[in-house]
Amino acid sequence: MNATEFPFETRKYTLGALIRLDVAKSQDMIVNISVTATQEYNIFAQLDALKNTWYKLDFDVVNHKTRDTFKIVGFDKITQVLDESLSTINVMASSRYVKRYQKEVEDFQYILNLISDCLEQWREAQRGWIYLENIFSSQDIKK
């Protein structure tokens, strides 16, 4: 039996068929293909899990004092998820098995870095606004 006669489509492999094909001499190649496919799937699954984490992540927004002004709270939770996500995506990007998903990983890495930059700017702007809002809403300034 040769490789063209092997019943790949039916997925009914017998030990006898494998012995007749003499797959033992191709063991290194088969193991390499298996390891590569497994690692590529792991990258795909991790990337999918990261995306789902961010699709489901809520930014908690609450009223600031009694006004019609809102602020984001829980920056620590968001920052923790962001740090873990950046760490995971950086490991994935440096993997030798990332080739098949290189563009998707790089695109999501860019998005996470953009979120990081925006979140930091938002935090600083919010902190400054709250500080100045307290100053300008004081009775002394209003006079």
Q: Does residue 23 lie in a domain region?
A: no
How many other C-beta atoms lie within 10 A of the C-beta of residue 104?
Answer: 16
Structural domain boundaries, residue 118 = 38-142
Q: Does residue 27 lie in a domain region?
A: no
Strand ranges, E, within 1-53:
none
**pLDDT for res 21:** 77
Q: Is the pLDDT of residue 106 over 70?
A: yes
Q: Is the pLDDT of residue 11 over 80?
A: no
**CATH number for 72:** 1.20.140.100
Contacts of residue 33, defined as CB under 8 A and 6 or more positions apart, other chains included, come to none
Is residue 40 within 8 Å of residue 100, measured between CB atoms?
A: yes
Q: Does residue 125 lie in a domain region?
A: yes
Q: What is the 3-state secondary structure (H, E, C) of 4-39?
A: HHCCCCCCCCCHHHHHHHCHHHHHHHHHHHHHHHHH
Q: Is the pLDDT of residue 101 over 60?
A: yes
The structure's pTM equals 0.78
- 120, amino acid identity: E
**pLDDT for res 140:** 72
**pLDDT for res 57:** 93
Q: Which two tokens stand for residue 63?
A: 């009223």
Q: Is the pLDDT of residue 2 over 80?
A: no
Q: Does residue 9 lie in a domain region?
A: no
Band of pLDDT at residue 26, cut at 50, 70 and 90 = confident
Q: Is the pLDDT of residue 5 over 70?
A: no
The larger pLDDT score, comparing residue 131 to residue 45, is at 45
Q: Does residue 14 lie in a domain region?
A: no
Q: Does residue 15 lie in a domain region?
A: no
Count of domains forming the chain = 1
What is the DSSP track for 50-75? HHHHHHHPPPEEEE-TTSS-EEEE-H
